[in-house]
Amino acid sequence: MYAQVIVDIAHSQVDKIFEYSCGDDVSEGCRVKVPFGGRVVDGFVVGLARKSEFPPEKIKPVAYVYDEPPALGRECFALMNELSARYRVPKAVCLRLFIPSEMRSGRVREAYKKLVRFLSSDIKLSKTAKNQLAFLRYISEAGEADYAACCRKFGRGAVNAVTEKGGAELVKVKVNRKPSGYGRGVDAPRALTPAQTAALESIEASPKAVHLIHGVTGSGKTEIYLNVISRALERGKTAIFLVPEISLTPQMFSQLKSRFGDKAAILHSGLSAGERFDEWWRLKTGEARIAIGARSAVFSPVENIGAIIIDEEHDGSYFSESAPRYSTIEVAKLRAGHNGCKLILGSATPSVETYSAAVSGEYNLITLTERINGRPLPQITIADMRKEVKRGNNTAFSQALREELSATLEGGRQAIIFLNRRGYSHTVICMDCGNVLKCEHCDVPLAYHSEENCLKCHYCGAKYRMPRACPECGGLHLRYGGTGTQRVVSDLRSAFPSARILRMDVDTTSGKEGHYKILRQFAEKEADILVGTQMIAKGHDFPSVTLVGILDADMSLHFSDYRAPERTFQLITQVAGRSGRAGEAGKVVLQTYSPENYILRYAVNYDYEGFFKNEIDLRKATRFPPFSLICRVMVTAEEDRAALEALKGIYFGCEELRAARPEEFIFLNKMHSPIKKIQGRVRYQVLMRLESGELLPKIYDLASEYTTAEAFAYVEENPINLS
């Protein structure tokens, strides 16, 4: 037999299939080690053949076959071909998406436990061997016990002696390392509301492959997803359920666990390597049939998929920022196609692209306009911070928010304070010369962290001591600008001394389950106020939160990105949606320096359609996505010279493309990237706006053509982050 092998090396020059001879212990989809260029490397068997075209003396044998069921299925190979063609990455890089990284490194193995199992009391033991006798008595009653524990209790010698004489045997059993801390008892299915039933019926009845559930926050989308999943299971199929960031939404997983028990497996980066490994195998072997996780779980090893669900489909985390730079929705569509299953997207604030596909009839659009039980959406009040400043209020809180906060606290309910940033304050500015302290490696402002009294770069993690004087002019008047979570917390402490306050941001949530701990404390009402950044905007359901304060709603309006209005609308709607989800009506105070802004007006009225209409007209007039495609070729290098050389080559290549197809180009230019340097590498870009994706393959080719040992070039499509 001959194995067709893709070697696990991420290089375009070895991006082909190699043949090795093998025995019948090799099957399609299994992992092997093969000799390759004087070394032995890992490889994936993508096919088997009886014959080879190569002369037999040129074919080497497979060196090693991993002792495990085949890790890759047929669908993986199809996806591998599609993705590597689409995003121009080596096939090996695509295959890596399908298996957990800890499996590839070989660092994690299955975990085993040694047990001793009772066999017979009918053995000869010396009367003086007290420990042996005691152990035999113990194990004859227990039947089975942990080997290590028995050794501790009776002595290794005694345990081994009894086993050797046939009184007991040693057995090795596989242990499943299951993620802990998520369970929450039994959660019986609810009687569906008419709107939920109608949504499910629409999904079943519509012949379309993609369905968009556009439902206001609290409209019960989750219950619809759960029903879609149970229907898939009833038909003997599996399901994939994607959420933006699983570690931020443990409630979602608890719900799935309570409803589906061990049939649900979780895949996310917060798990230990061993847990992730075991959960992955549970899915692969079919022991678990629902995969839940963030972006990368779209590659879950489930077969025979009945439904793929993408919750909060508008979320930026669904775009991969490393190669292959895939869109999760695009991959999910491919998988839905291979499996003949439905893809369900859900959001209270769908992305403009998705919603326009839905209104054009490409997707099946399902609209839920009301919250469960007709609960009102929280009323949003705008607080004009310019007036507050004029009135001499220099704190982070408007009068309105302060009053609502004290009413909420008096009523024994909870509040969430949301702000758009992190750290004690953004930047440190020299009041004498205006210099902003920047990272030496990244050309971005440093952020001051008061707890460690240091400056940190959020791009490379570098830490700097807080200088006493400005490094530029020696001036001693350094000032922190902006407001961060820490300052908000300390302002809150002085305004409401008896309130219990929790802070959730990048600094307080490190470590495994860091987020989960804070969210649980808040859910269990161990705190009255939760202060946080973007992390608290997403899908949480805290029934006793009746007030949400949005401190700097317009921050994201000022980003130089065509998506800024959309992001702001989404953020306000999502954060506001955390308020008043149970009995009491909720309130939201939205603080802003630009209260007349049209996006805020749509957001305050929960007018998604109005917002969308306005936005789509604007994008049409200015020819931005979905009426065009923004394409950026990034070039990074340690030295300017290398970067500029590659940049020039790519740019001229693009100019040639434009000369041949001028109608495809709306915009083309080359420039420094907004952040000129990250981690010591300079950054340049060719930026273009294209009529369609037709020329993309050629642009991807240009990027690989000019990637050298010194310069690295890659393509981004409609990048989320243009920094």
Residues near ligand ADP, by CB under 6 A: 190-193, 196, 215, 217-223, 372, 541, 581
Which span sits near Zn ion by CB under 5 A: 124-132, 144-152, 442-450, 508-516? 442-450
Shortest distance (Å) from residue 374 CB to ligand ADP: 11
Q: Which of 457, 588, 600, 629 binds Zn ion (CB under 5 A)?
A: 457
Q: Which of 125, 407, 462, 564 binds Zn ion (CB under 5 A)?
A: 462
Q: Say if CB 197 and CB 134 are below 8 A apart.
A: no
Nearest to 217 by CA among 582, 611, 614: 582
Which span sits near Zn ion by CB under 5 A: 54-62, 345-353, 405-413, 451-459? 451-459
Q: Which of 115, 331, 419, 439 binds Zn ion (CB under 5 A)?
A: 439
The 172-191 contact track toward Zn ion, x by CB under 5 A, reads: --------------------
Shortest distance (Å) from residue 680 CB to Zn ion: 9
d(CA 705, CA 633): 12
d(CA 121, CA 136): 7
Q: Does 441 bind Zn ion (CB under 5 A)?
A: yes
Rounded to a whole number of angstroms, the CA Rg of the chain reads 29
Residue nearest ligand ADP, Cβ-based: 222
Q: Among ligand ADP, Zn ion, none, what binds residue 457 when CB lies within 5 to 8 Å by partner kind?
A: Zn ion
Q: Say if CB 349 and CB 574 are below 8 A apart.
A: yes
Q: Among Zn ion, ligand ADP, none, what binds residue 249 when CB lies within 5 to 8 Å by partner kind?
A: none
What sign for the dihedral angle of Cα 592, 597, 599, 603?
A: positive
Q: Say if CB 290 and CB 252 are below 8 A apart.
A: no
Q: Among ligand ADP, Zn ion, none, what binds residue 466 when CB lies within 5 to 8 Å by partner kind?
A: none
Question: What's the token pair of residue 116?
Answer: 């001793």
Among residues 97 and 226, whose Cβ is nearest to ligand ADP?
226
Q: Among Zn ion, ligand ADP, none, what binds residue 219 when CB lies within 5 to 8 Å by partner kind?
A: ligand ADP
Shortest distance (Å) from residue 178 CB to ligand ADP: 25
Q: What is the phi/psi pair of residue 489, to 5°?
A: -60, -45
Nearest to 590 by CA among 572, 578, 567: 572
Shortest distance (Å) from residue 709 CB to ligand ADP: 49
Q: Is 96 helix (H, G, I), strand (E, B) or coil?
A: helix
Q: Say if CB 43 and CB 7 are below 8 A apart.
A: yes
Among residues 226 and 265, whose Cβ is nearest to ligand ADP?
226
Q: Among ligand ADP, Zn ion, none, what binds residue 486 when CB lies within 5 to 8 Å by partner kind?
A: none
Among residues 378 and 595, whose Cβ is nearest to ligand ADP?
378
Residue 603: which residues within 8 A CB-CB, separation 6 or more? 380, 553, 568, 569, 572, 573, 576, 590, 611
Q: Among ligand ADP, Zn ion, none, what binds residue 442 when CB lies within 5 to 8 Å by partner kind?
A: Zn ion
Q: Does 442 bind Zn ion (CB under 5 A)?
A: yes
Among residues 4 and 579, whose Cβ is nearest to ligand ADP?
579
d(CA 25, CA 43): 15
Among residues 372 and 720, whose Cβ is nearest to ligand ADP?
372
Q: Is 567 helix (H, G, I), strand (E, B) or coil?
A: helix
Which span sits near Zn ion by CB under 5 A: 456-464, 480-488, 538-546, 555-563? 456-464
Q: Among ligand ADP, Zn ion, none, what binds residue 513 when CB lies within 5 to 8 Å by partner kind?
A: none
Among residues 194 and 361, whose Cβ is nearest to ligand ADP?
194
Q: Among ligand ADP, Zn ion, none, what binds residue 439 when CB lies within 5 to 8 Å by partner kind?
A: Zn ion
The CA-atom distances, in angstroms, between 641 and each of 126, 442, 646, 647, 707 are 83, 18, 9, 10, 14
Q: Where are the alpha helices (DSSP H) in 419-472?
A: none
d(CA 719, CA 320): 10
d(CA 543, CA 251): 12
Which span sits near Zn ion by CB under 5 A: 308-316, 452-460, 515-523, 712-720? 452-460
Shortest distance (Å) from residue 531 CB to ligand ADP: 22
Among residues 79 and 439, whose Cβ is nearest to Zn ion?
439
Q: Does 92 bind Zn ion (CB under 5 A)?
A: no
What b/e string do you get for 545-566 counting C-beta neighbours within 10 Å, with b at 16 or more? bbbbbbbbbbbbbeeeebbbbb
Give the binding site for Zn ion (CB under 5 A): 439, 441-442, 457, 459-460, 462
